[in-house]
Chain A
Amino acid sequence: MSEEEILALIREALVYAAPDKAAQLDRIEWSSSLSNLGIDSIGLLDASSYIEDKLAAHFPDDKLARVELVSDFGALMRQHLQSNGHQDERRQSL
């Protein structure tokens, strides 16, 4: 996934978690703080669940608990994508 695709998926997940905040979520950046965007701990977990579904991932709870910025989410996703890179390539070639 490209950086743009990762950011777009995070945006999609946050809109899923907080549909009433869709307008301001349109303008998120890597440095945006989730709490400033009005995403609480339940919203964070709803958004994580959405991303986990898309990536067939299950982020460790302790790492999720530390997510404060959009970039923290991005880092979690990149880490998952890298450690599953080989598997994904194989899946694509089938």
Chain B
Amino acid sequence: MSSQAQIQESYDISNDFYRLFLDKRMIYSCALFTGTDDLEQAQVNKLNWIADAARVRPGARVLDIGCGWGGNLRFLAETRAARSVVGITLSPAQYDQVRQINLANVEARLVSYLDYAPEGPFDAITSIGMFEHIATPEDARSGRNIELYREYFRRAWKWTRPGSWFGLQSVIGLTIPRDPKKLREIAFVTYKIFPGAITPRLEAIMASVNPYWEVVELQTRREHYARTLEHWHARFRQNEKTVRERWGPARFDEYDLYLGAMAQAFMEGYGSLAQLSLRRLDNVRERPG
């Protein structure tokens, strides 16, 4: 699991900084460009896909693991009419922003999923772009990652009622580049932009859902992440002057390289994006709660 200090390196530069390149809801994950080239609409498409995958119905109580700046929480409460929406994050800056959402049925907790104890069971779980933080590169190398992923799915199972569904989105690794330049770019993003995180391989997700969840639907969205990153990169470059003035030239160069290299990496097939709809397996012989 990425430590809180590592999470802060990735998400706590400043809320204003991420606002310069993300959409207005501040959704920092792959959007869904079906029928649109507009980033705002594509992010709404993605939130709808995930809410559908989790079968979020009006009146539902929903948990969002890794809630970012709360864009999905607000969407679930306002657009999908969830009765109660809880988001957990390890980023203090994100937590502060989520607490400013002025909706009685939205709450946030500054806590790791490993320490979280819900007050009551949920009807649905969503988790967008958090799975990448469960295992470290060292865990993946030693093979410990599968058990860490399984523990995440076990907790999600324990926190939900029978009949629940889970909408999950994660970047997945496809193949490691051999070209030394591309290899170093991906290593830079892994170790400098998202320290303590590693993209899972799809087979690792598939192996670790067992015995708690059934994979009902799987979509891969490689081109959509390339397009999302191209949008972010273009917006970031439009704000070059502001970034250089407020955060310094080194920070501009770092994010310019990261956003450009990752757009390329998705385009060329080194990474992809998985969206899964999971149904809770209610016959597991463990006690929920």
Closest to A42 in B: B187
Structural contact, B178 and A65, CB atoms closer than 8 A: no
Residues from chain B with Cβ under 8 Å of A61 in the complex: 173, 175-176, 201
Structural contact, A66 and B143, CB atoms closer than 8 A: yes
Closest to B184 in A: A42
Closest to B138 in A: A41
Contact with A along B163-195 (1 / 0, CB 8 A): 000000000010110101001100100000000
Structural contact, A49 and B184, CB atoms closer than 8 A: no
Mark out the residues of chain A between 46 and 84 whose CB falls within 8 Å of any chain B CB in the assembled complex: 46, 48-49, 52, 61-62, 64-66
Which residue of B137, B173, B183, B203 has the most chain A CB atoms within 10 A of its CB atom? B183
Structural contact, B176 and A64, CB atoms closer than 8 A: yes
Taking the nearest CB of chain A, how far is it from the CB of B44, in angstroms?
Answer: 34
**Other-chain contact of B178, A41, A48, A66 (Cβ < 8 Å):** A48
Closest to A49 in B: B178
Taken together as a complex, chains A and B put the C-alpha atoms of A66 and B142 apart, in Å, by: 7
Question: Does chain A have a CB within 8 A of B267?
Answer: no
Residues from chain B with Cβ under 8 Å of A48 in the complex: 178
- Known contacts: A42-B187, A61-B173, A61-B175. The answer to whether A49 contacts B180 by CB under 8 A is yes
Question: Does chain A have a CB within 8 A of B287?
Answer: no
Taken together as a complex, chains A and B put the C-alpha atoms of A65 and B200 apart, in Å, by: 13
Question: Does chain A have a CB within 8 A of B81?
Answer: no
Interface magnitude class on chain A: 10 to 19
Taking the nearest CB of chain A, how far is it from the CB of B83, in angstroms?
Answer: 43
- Known contacts: A61-B173, A65-B141, A66-B143. The answer to whether A46 contacts B201 by CB under 8 A is no
Question: Does chain B have a CB within 8 A of A7?
Answer: no
Residues from chain B with Cβ under 8 Å of A66 in the complex: 141, 143
Taken together as a complex, chains A and B put the C-alpha atoms of A49 and B176 apart, in Å, by: 10
Question: Does chain B have a CB within 8 A of A45?
Answer: yes
Taking the nearest CB of chain A, how far is it from the CB of B182, in angstroms?
Answer: 11
Residues from chain B with Cβ under 8 Å of A62 in the complex: 201, 203
**Other-chain contact of A45, B141, B178, B201, B203 (Cβ < 8 Å):** B178
Residues from chain B with Cβ under 8 Å of A45 in the complex: 176, 178, 183
Residues of B within 8 A of A (CB): 137, 140-141, 143, 173, 175-176, 178, 180, 183-184, 187, 201, 203
Given contacts A42-B183, A45-B183, A61-B201, 19 further A-B contacts (CB under 8 A): A41-B137, A41-B141, A45-B176, A45-B178, A46-B180, A46-B183, A48-B178, A49-B178, A49-B180, A52-B178, A61-B173, A61-B175, A61-B176, A62-B201, A64-B176, A65-B140, A65-B141, A66-B141, A66-B143
Supply 8 A–B pairs (Cβ within 8 Å), ascending by A: A41-B141, A41-B187, A42-B184, A45-B176, A45-B178, A48-B178, A61-B201, A65-B140
Residues of A within 8 A of B (CB): 41-42, 45-46, 48-49, 52, 61-62, 64-66
Those 10 A-B pairs whose CB atoms lie nearest each other, nearest first: A49-B178, A61-B176, A42-B187, A65-B141, A45-B183, A61-B175, A45-B176, A46-B180, A42-B183, A52-B178
